[in-house]
Chains A and B, each alone.
Chain A
């Protein structure tokens, strides 16, 4: 039996494949019929009689970009080894107290400094991308432990911006 741990956005799915039997989170599902349409990751995809197109792009060993029905999602997949352990452990929730860049952007302004106490929802810093400014707010009441960037710095999507000590 093969077990895969799958994260799509914030949702978690446990997929178990045992011969011709497939289960998601413990419930039986009908296997999907995929047909490759080209060499670039485009598939025809049939489920419950509906034909759809699906595009799969492998980003890294465990990360995929999937486009289906106008939606574009990032999917993380870990295959559980035969001994029952996955290669890497990762909790479905983000680490509390770590604030990440939601997108590729430039740091415009820091609204706090290291050591400051902040309330939940209080702005930590301001990012700008595509002519739009956005405030990055604290997810919880906390003390600011580390700030990793200065105004003017470019940040990549998913980079750790600020570390907090939740109060």
Chain B
């Protein structure tokens, strides 16, 4: 089975690596700025599908299909983001006689409309939040209808997902404004400006369940993931099993996800997302009909390679697992390594990776597409990679994550590494008592506690180096060497220290 991976970055590397292991020939696609990207080198063949602008390349159905046809592939894996939740793309793949590695296009379409997804979940017997099951196209219409619901409210894009196109409103004035902005944003991001309204659950946790179906009635549950630590409604840290969750509640949530999977006769990987309120009530939010960024934590505790399972299902139509074989051992945590500055409202940073050391050791996994020389541009997502750890207990996993974060060295762009360390080391995180407001509540204190760069120390080290450099160049003006390190071989340093004494 020859597979085209219609994605970039770490997830493309992840999928192409699985193709290699299974002996499936593979094709990578890339945009003009990604010519030297790491995923390109993981495939046997690679095809340029257009300019940097994603709309003209990674989101361009025609270009991806043309590449698939040109290379004669048997199947297409969409990864996450880009075209992964695009029903038209899945249909286009199938109409070429190729396998779409994911749910049936019909399922993607149903889950893509958040109101339809809610209705189906309700029919399947899942608890959903009481809301207006109406697509709103104007603020006036909303104001007429929303007196049925108490504030605070959330305005969400009907075609939304992944935490985008969501706005909060605390009163009528805000609602009017928020509907306009949310609607505009939805139109710009998802190409559909319809929005709907649901109550905002305060202090809710975000818990999601990994399902895997064969499309012939078999649906497996591979545990849940706790994803409450978010910035701008984007996940930052995920873990499994969810801490502080009673076994009965855990089983109820798993059962609900399984019920929906059965109802949909689900094929391939999917994630059923729930809100859990402080009283222990949980509500269906949405289904992500694709592989998730945070899938590795599930792999770490179950030992199931989710991508391999997906590829084998696509190749043979069968899943090699039974529910009884799935068990969870230990605890796993993932940190998203983002090129953003938490001290500056998570402002993304760009640059060239000039040095890199990824952490190692037992129970440590790094999924990234980083290499020294990589140009981090503003064209795509700011996630550079993911650090995942496993431990026999949650405490062990937290300690291991703390050490692994310290070991991670990325030069060339600002990253959230110091801030992630601070979160992982905090009592609040260790206790596992958190909800989606964690960062809003704790960010100021975490940033205040975060170890700052010792500016004086850096200044002294740099000036000492410069002094040596200048002396060297005065002595040998024509040497032409600008290598920093030649001046600081160990013996030179010893000599310098000798002088200092």
Q: Is the CB of B462 within 8 A of A6?
A: yes
Q: Is the CB of B355 within 8 A of A73?
A: no
Instruction: Name which residue of chain B comes closest to A6, CB basis.
Output: B459
In this assembly, does A86 line the interface, its C-beta being within 8 Å of a C-beta of chain B?
A: no
In this assembly, does A93 line the interface, its C-beta being within 8 Å of a C-beta of chain B?
A: no
User: Closest Cβ of chain B: how far from A57's Cβ, in Å?
Assistant: 4
Q: List 23 A-B contacts (CB under 8 A).
A: A9-B455, A13-B456, A17-B463, A24-B459, A34-B465, A36-B487, A41-B411, A41-B485, A43-B461, A43-B485, A55-B355, A55-B409, A57-B411, A58-B482, A64-B462, A70-B405, A70-B409, A72-B414, A73-B453, A75-B459, A75-B462, A103-B347, A130-B382
In this assembly, does A115 line the interface, its C-beta being within 8 Å of a C-beta of chain B?
A: no
Q: Which residues of B contact A103 (CB under 8 A)?
A: 347-350, 378
Q: Which residues of B contact A102 (CB under 8 A)?
A: 344, 347
In this assembly, does B421 line the interface, its C-beta being within 8 Å of a C-beta of chain A?
A: yes
Among B37-45, B152-160, B202-210, B489-497, the one that faces the other chain is B489-497
A73 to B488, CA, bound (A): 22
In this assembly, does B406 line the interface, its C-beta being within 8 Å of a C-beta of chain A?
A: yes
Among A25-33, A116-124, A138-146, A159-167, the one that faces the other chain is A25-33
Interface readout for A118-140 with B: 1 if CB under 8 Å, 0 if not? 00000000000111101000000
Q: Is the CB of A53 within 8 A of B409?
A: yes
A54 to B461, CA, bound (A): 10
A54 to B354, CA, bound (A): 12
Point out residues on B near A: beta carbons under 8 Å.
164, 232, 344-345, 347-351, 354-355, 357, 372, 377-382, 405-406, 408-415, 417-418, 421, 451-467, 470, 482-490, 493, 497, 499-501
Q: Which residues of A contact B418 (CB under 8 A)?
A: 69-71
Q: How many Cβ-Cβ contacts under 8 Å join chain A to chain B?
A: 176
In this assembly, does A47 line the interface, its C-beta being within 8 Å of a C-beta of chain B?
A: yes
User: Closest Cβ of chain B: how far from A88's Cβ, in Å?
Assistant: 16
In this assembly, does A83 line the interface, its C-beta being within 8 Å of a C-beta of chain B?
A: no
Q: Is the CB of B493 within 8 A of A8?
A: no
- State whether A130 and B483 are in contact (beta carbons under 8 Å apart), knowing that A4-B463, A54-B461, A66-B462 are contacts in the complex: no
User: Closest Cβ of chain B: how far from A66's Cβ, in Å?
Assistant: 5
Instruction: Name which residue of chain B comes closest to A17, CB basis.
Output: B467
Instruction: Name which residue of chain A comes closest to B185, CB basis.
Output: A133
A34 to B501, CA, bound (A): 15
Instruction: Name which residue of chain B comes closest to A56, CB basis.
Output: B484
Instruction: Name which residue of chain A comes closest to B458, CB basis.
Output: A66
The 10 closest A-B pairs by CB, nearest first: A36-B485, A129-B378, A70-B417, A36-B488, A67-B411, A13-B459, A6-B459, A55-B411, A15-B463, A130-B348
Interface residues on chain A, number (Cβ under 8 Å)? 59
Extra A-B contacts (8), CB below 8 Å, given A6-B462, A36-B488, A40-B355: A4-B459, A13-B455, A24-B456, A29-B460, A32-B457, A35-B488, A53-B409, A70-B405
User: Closest Cβ of chain B: how far from A104's Cβ, in Å?
Assistant: 5
Q: Which residues of B contact A24 (CB under 8 A)?
A: 456, 459-460
Q: Which residues of B contact A43 (CB under 8 A)?
A: 461, 485, 488
B contact patch SS? mixed
User: Closest Cβ of chain A: how far from B243's Cβ, in Å?
Assistant: 25
Instruction: Name which residue of chain A comes closest to B382, CB basis.
Output: A130
Q: Is the CB of A8 within 8 A of B355?
A: no
Point out residues on A near B: beta carbons under 8 Å.
2, 4, 6, 8-9, 11, 13, 15, 17, 20, 22, 24-25, 29, 31-43, 45, 47, 53-58, 64-73, 75, 77, 79, 102-106, 129-132, 134, 157
User: Closest Cβ of chain B: how far from A84's Cβ, in Å?
Assistant: 17
A58 to B484, CA, bound (A): 9
Q: Which residues of A contact B482 (CB under 8 A)?
A: 58
A148 to B453, CA, bound (A): 34
A69 to B461, CA, bound (A): 14
Q: Which residues of B contact A131 (CB under 8 A)?
A: 164, 381
Instruction: Name which residue of chain A comes closest to B344, CB basis.
Output: A102
| B354, B408, B453, B459: the one within 8 Å of A41 (CB) | B354
A72 to B349, CA, bound (A): 11
Q: Which residues of B contact A34 (CB under 8 A)?
A: 461, 464-465, 488, 493
- Which of A20, A73, A132 is the most central at the interface, judged by chain B CB atoms within 10 Å of its CB? A132
Q: Which residues of A contact B412 (CB under 8 A)?
A: 57, 65, 67, 72
- State whether A20 and B500 are in contact (beta carbons under 8 Å apart), knowing that A56-B484, A70-B408, A103-B347 are contacts in the complex: yes
- State whether A35 and B490 are in contact (beta carbons under 8 Å apart), knowing that A40-B355, A72-B413 are contacts in the complex: yes
A70 to B424, CA, bound (A): 14
Q: Is the CB of A68 within 8 A of B355?
A: no
Q: Which residues of A contact B499 (CB under 8 A)?
A: 20
A37 to B102, CA, bound (A): 47
